[in-house]
Structure 1
Amino acid sequence: MWFEAGIRYRIEEGGDPSGKTPIAGPARVEAADLEHYAARRRLRIGQDGAKAYLAIGNEYGIRGDIAFCQAIYETRWLSANRVVPLAANLLPDLWSLKGRDELWTERFIEEHIRLLYRFSKDSELPLRKTPDDENSSARVQRIEELGYRGKVRFWEELSGKWSYFGVHYGQDIVAIWRSLEIWAGIRKERMERDKEKPADGQVMPSLVQG
């Protein structure tokens, strides 16, 4: 795949020397920013969906903010009547036609995070807090049968392993996250400037004549 051909990525602050983006690790974007980003793009993420991604991701040591970006990437395609055929070399599609009504429930989000855990970590899966769905064991087993357990450490390496979006699948998800992170930083700066502005009718103390 092209990401293995010596191409280097922009290294994020504190990131991996390869320049790729680790699946495991702490989130860097807050839930409020995730919610605002989705709302501005009219993406339905369910009540407290962003908070759940960060909380559950934190419990598993998975970057919940980027997992959230994967979810909005996938559900955006669902809105365009996305139908992904299953194949022997890919794990069962998490965002398949069945179960779309619960795409942003804690049960679904934990299932998503657990799959990312299985891809990126070799240690045993923690006990889950929400009920399994009928395909949970099959998904995990398929990842192990394909030799992916703990071997897919970076988002960019999900390309060709998670879904049918081509070799840029993981890169596209990271691109969404980088855009969101930049947007969140600009939003925070704007909010800080607004706090420093005097209220209507008030005069800055430095401008008052003594």
Structure 2
Amino acid sequence: MVKTRDLWRGIARRCSAAVCLLLAVAATGLAASLTDTEKDMTDRDVHIDHMDEGSTEFYFSLEQGFLRPEEQAGWYYPLTVGKVKTWGTPILGEPELSAEQMENYLRRKNPHAPNVARLYIDIGRDMGIRGDIAFAQTLLETGFFRYGGDVVPEQNNFSGLGTTGRGVRGYYFATPQDGVRAQLEHLWAYATTRPAPRKPIDPRFNYVTRGSCPTWEELGGRWAYPGYAAWKYASFEEAFAAGETYGQLILRIYEDIKNFNG
């Protein structure tokens, strides 16, 4: 139920990224209580600014345009959980693609690429992470296993862990299995505050702000900084509007695999 603006003004605090999510508001029920301007906003992005764990109410702000998680907004209302849906594609979850789909797609792109698709599906399913989308992340990071950057194939580092540019190669992993597991553990650290399913081998697991990035779209600016092509766009928001932030590019490759018929 929407309350008077002044009643809720100033109640939100600068939230942790773990509970700062962009939401899409379901217009049914809410729109009838809003002005014409606010009705228009219900079709836009909404930003969570405060949520008590276990609470049935979110406090959010209606704002036009895109809001970064660290920003505060102006107007706050309580909204029941049943009227909102999480914005973005969760990092945690079951795969929707098969290893065969992923392998066939990669073979078309690079016939000499290693056979690691099954590792992403198996280890991802074991951890509860979308291994199929993590595979798309790897294709972005490695240039479809053609490399060409600081990382070299023998590192078994498929996601640039520890790489900072200027010749810094990052971490080496003994086997492809270890490289995939470390990548998925790093994703786990971003996605949730829950303990890892097993003792992490990711050297940077404890350097992550746990639970700060539950969706793939939010990886931009976190896993990869600044998370967009700074030579092409003036800001993260501009790149996001164009669909070319780090997380969006991962999902673009994922959709390409999903739609591949070869």
* Residues 38-53 of structure 1 aligned to structure 2 (within 5 Å): 38-42=106-110, 44-47=112-115, 49-53=116-120
User: Percent sequence identity over matched residues?
Assistant: 27
Shift of the 80–71 alpha-carbon distance from structure 1 to 2, 3 Å rule, reads closer
1:25 aligns with 2:93: yes
> How far does residue 81 in structure 1 lie from its aligned partner after superposition?
2.6
Amino acid at match of 1:125: A
Determine if the alignment matches structure 1 residue 152 to structure 2 residue 213. yes
Task: Provide Cα deviations, 1:17-41, integer angstroms capped at 9, x if missing partner.
Answer: 3441110000000000100100100
Q: For the structure 1 residues 179 and 95, does the alpha-carbon distance in structure 2 shift closer, same or farther, using more than 3 Å as the test?
A: farther
Q: What letter corresponds to residue 216 of structure 2 in structure 1? A: W
Distance 1:123 1:108 in 2: 21
The superposition leaves residues 59-107 of structure 1 with CA deviations (integer Å, 9 ceiling, x where unpaired) of: 11000000000011101077453249xxxxxxx94173255686x7101
Aligned residues of 1:93 and 1:163 also touching (Cα < 8 A): no
The answer (yes or no) to whether the contact 1:20–1:156 under 8 Å persists in 2 is yes
TM-score (norm 1): 0.64
- Tell me how far apart the structure 2 counterparts of residues 93 and 40 of structure 1 sit (CA, whole Å): 23
Within 1, Cα distance between the matches of 2:246 and 2:215? Answer: 12
CA contact (8 A) 1:52 1:109 kept: yes
Question: How much is the aligned-residue C-alpha RMSD, in angstroms?
Answer: 3.1
> 1:95, 1:74 → 2: CA distance?
13
Letter in 1 for 2:221: G
**1:100 and 1:40, CA in 2 relative to 1: closer, same or farther beyond 3 A?**
farther
Deviation at 1:126, TM superposition (A): 1.6
Which of 138, 143, 154 is matched with 1:76 structurally?
A: 143
* C-alpha spacing 1:80/1:63, structure 2 compared with 1 (3 Å): closer
Q: Is 2:188 the counterpart of 1:117?
A: yes
Partner of 2:249: 172
Do 2:173 and 2:179's aligned partners in 1 also have CA atoms closer than 8 Å?
Answer: no
Mind listing any 5+ residue stretches in structure 2 that lack a counterpart? Answer: 1-20, 23-43, 46-64, 67-83, 152-158, 164-168, 229-235, 237-244
Match of 1:141 among 206, 215, 230: 206
In structure 1, how many angstroms separate the alpha carbons of the residues matched to 2:147 and 2:197? 35
State TM-score, norm by structure 2. Answer: 0.52
- Relative contact order, higher structure (CA 8 A, sep 6+): 1
The amino acid that maps onto 1:75 is T
Matched, 1:94 2:161: yes
Q: Per-residue deviation at 1:55?
A: 0.4
User: Would you tell me which structure has more helix in proportion to its own residues?
Assistant: 1
2:258 & 2:144 partners in 1: Cα distance?
22
The residue number in structure 1 matching 2:3 is: none
Q: Letter of the aligned partner of 1:182 in structure 2?
A: N
- Paired residues in the alignment total 157
Confirm or deny: 8 A CA contact 1:66 1:177 kept in the other structure. yes
Structure 1 unaligned runs (5+)? 9-15, 85-91, 188-210
Residue 108 of structure 1 corresponds to 179
Preserved CA contact (<8 Å) 1:27 1:54: yes
Distance 1:44 1:24, change over 3 A: farther
Structure richer in strand, relative to its length: 2
2:198 paired with 1:127: yes
